Structure 1
Amino acid sequence: MSIPTHHPFDFDPTQGFDLDRLRAIRPPEAAPGFDAFWQARYERARGLDPQPRVNASKTSHPNWLVQDITYTSTDKFPIGGWLLLPREGSVKRGLVVGHGYGGRDAPDFDIPVKETALLFPCFRGLSRSRRPPISTDPAWHVLHDIDKPDRYILGGCVEDLWLAASALTRLYPAIAGRIGYSGLSFGGGIGALALAFDKRFDRGHLVVPTFGNMPLWLTLPTVGSGNAVQTYQKTHADVLKTLCLFDAAVAAKRIEAPMLMAVARFDPAVAPPCQFSVANGLAASNQHEIFILDAGHFDYPGEQEQHALLSAKVGRFFGVT
């Protein structure tokens, strides 16, 4: 297998980095006050009752009981999503599943886990959690309140994830300490920020995570949300002061739970050096595994085979009791 050689973009989605350079890149230093900023937010979020409410869903599946779920996040923001319960066996673990910047229209039924309650929240402003004046367009969503660090939308999304863990443990107290997280792209970056400060998650799986190495993220060509922020920066030169507080690579250095990270060598939407900055930020440990994809956010030969291998690893990773 190899990275794609033909593509329609006017830039190189590898950003000119070979695998050795990608493996060598490291996260930037933490912004002043990074830990205090997030620890205070986490403590406030942990003190809230998410008041989860579940109802039968119109969606059905032979292996899963599908329920619609809502819970209350910070700022009394209503979060909507889906809860899947196994039709066979008891609930012994929990798994919160984040989504990419395209939002989510339905839960994923092919996650290879058993005896697990799966919570699929929609981050604030998106899909089942849409609410004006927040735009559902990623190019505008990523800019929402970017000039106010305490109000920036990414921070609220991290809090939505923390409250998702609270909602699961309210519904199933016995799974406390056995909750995992899986997040793709946008959900990967948000997941790194969340797991760095919430020890209730006992393991995490991040795929092509964004928001890593923000100083670099602002300089590399992309078709993703970074492009909107780069355009914004042209008239707001101080935006990096906010973004440095939301750096997923800096957060990764603080994650203690075992991690299964999937990063891509070629990606037009999330620059590979930024992805690898997140993966390389994890402490050197045999409890972490880095799985390298040929490409992300792009169809490529061998994609199904690579993702089948990754799926098998996911099943083993979250299959622990």
Structure 2
Amino acid sequence: MPMLDLPLDQLERYRPALTHEPDFDAFWAKTLDAARTVTDPPKAVRVDVGVRAVDTYDVTFAGWAGEPVRGWLVLPRGRAARWCVVEFQGYGVGRGRVHEHLLYAACGLAHFVVDARGHSRGDTGDISPVSSGPHEPGFMTQGAHDPEAHYLRRLITDAVRAVDAARDLVGAELLAAAGPSQGGGLALAVSGLVAGLDAVLPDVPFLCDHRRGALVSDRVPFLEVAQFLRKRPELAEETFRTLSYFDGMNFAARATAPALFSVALMDPVVPPSTVYAAYHHYAGPADIRVYPFNEHEGGGALHAMERIDFLRGLGDF
């Protein structure tokens, strides 16, 4: 895949204007205050999945409107963890299987793998009246007419409540939000909405600079927005206004925790300019790892150890 976005020297200067509406902070304060009125504690049931080197728990916690969201809690066996990494998943992925999530625990960190409501490889159905159980992706224009109704309002609320659940369940001293692609966008949302994070690890993060993404990328999920607006061009400004409430660069401008980004310069799914948009607006200390010849896999296994080293530099384990 050849490079399809801006050259690196232009990416390093790319800093579009923020798109948040005047009521952005009030919108999210109201949303999260309502979600936190549900005080049911998270439930963790120990499960045997055949992986003997870790302790594994099937977790259910209250997300948007108190609706149940699932997750795996994977702990290093026989020892307390100083760090807990709350990891969000990519588009369509869900929490998957426990054996796909062993690296952090193998390195001595607690790992809370959060499911994504309605995604086809997840277990968390979206039982809200406007949606359904797990199904194939197609979320970007669900509720495009109104931020109150958009799917991403529910998904981001779930992410914030996942951090609340991790604090209740894991007695870790340090807390990180992480994820690839959509999961990276959710980590950025959490970085701007949750106080007291110690690290943020967004890998090739999706959900940033929506207008640019819809103009540049010819792959889903950004393509969903372009396809919608081909049929309803008169709804473009309304749609991008709605998406601004869920834009990673607007959350990044409110973040304070140290962050390690990754970007792939041949990524056809998440154009690197959209990653740099969030990176350049990130208000806390931030660094970025650039993978010039990689597509949406980003740095893959190489970058996984970059994340481990970054966390170790913030607080050894």
Report the TM-score, using the length of structure 2 for normalisation. Answer: 0.86
Q: Please give the residue correspondences for 1:56-205 in structure 2 after superposition, counting only pairs within 5 Å.
A: 56-104=46-94, 105-107=96-98, 108-111=101-104, 114-126=107-119, 127-131=122-126, 133-134=131-132, 136-138=135-137, 140-172=138-170, 174-175=171-172, 178-205=174-201
Q: What are the equivalent positions in structure 2 for 1:192-231 lying under 5 Å apart?
A: 192-231=188-227
Counterpart secondary structure, 2:39: coil
Q: Is the 8 A contact 1:52 1:167 kept in 2?
A: yes
Maintained 8 Å contact 2:73/2:113: yes
Residues 317 and 185 of structure 1, relative CA distance in 2, 3 Å threshold: farther
How many residues matched? 302
Deviation, 1:63, is 2.5
Distance 2:190 2:91 in 1: 17
**Is the 1:14–1:272 Cα contact (8 Å) retained in structure 2?**
no
One-letter amino acid of the structure 2 residue matched with residue 19 of structure 1: L
Residues 268-287 of structure 1 aligned to structure 2 (within 5 Å) = 268-283=268-283, 287=285
Q: What SS does the corresponding residue of 1:219 show, helix, strand or coil?
A: helix
CA RMSD of aligned residues (A): 2.4
What are the residue-to-residue correspondences of 1:34-45 with 2, within 5 Å?
34-45=24-35
TM-score (norm 1): 0.85
* Greater Cα offset, 221-230 or 129-138: 129-138
Q: Unmatched 5+ residue regions in structure 2?
A: none
Q: Secondary structure at the match of 2:149?
A: coil
Q: Alignment partner of 1:24: what SS? A: coil
For 2:269, the aligned partner's letter is A
The answer to whether the 8 A contact 2:42-2:168 is kept is yes
Change (3 A) 1:273 1:305: same
**Shift of the alpha carbon at 1:26?**
0.9
Q: How far apart, in 1, do the equivalents of 2:89 and 2:227 lie?
A: 24
2:9 is aligned with 1:20 = yes
Are the aligned partners of 1:88 and 1:115 in contact in 2 as well (CA < 8 Å)? no
Q: Could you say what secondary structure the match of 1:187 adopts?
A: helix
- Paired with 1:96 and 1:233, the residues of 2 have a C-alpha distance of 34
Does the C-alpha gap of structure 1 residues 156 and 305 become closer, same or farther in structure 2, counting only changes over 3 Å? closer
Q: Distance in 2 between matches of 1:115 and 1:307?
A: 18
Matched letter for residue 106 of structure 1:
R
Letter in 2 for 1:156: R
Cα deviation for residue 85 of structure 1 reads 1.5
SS at match of 1:196: helix
1:298 to partner: Cα distance = 5.1
Partners in 2 of 1:259 and 1:67 — Cα distance?
A: 28
Matched AA of 1:212: C
Q: 1:96 to 1:44 in 2, by over 3 A?
A: same
Aligned equivalents of 2:108, 2:86: Cα separation in 1 = 14
Q: 1:3 corresponds to which residue? A: none
Q: Report Cα offsets for 1:118-168 as digits up to 9, x if no partner.
A: 111112212111246336322x22232232311211111111111111112
% identical equivalent positions: 23
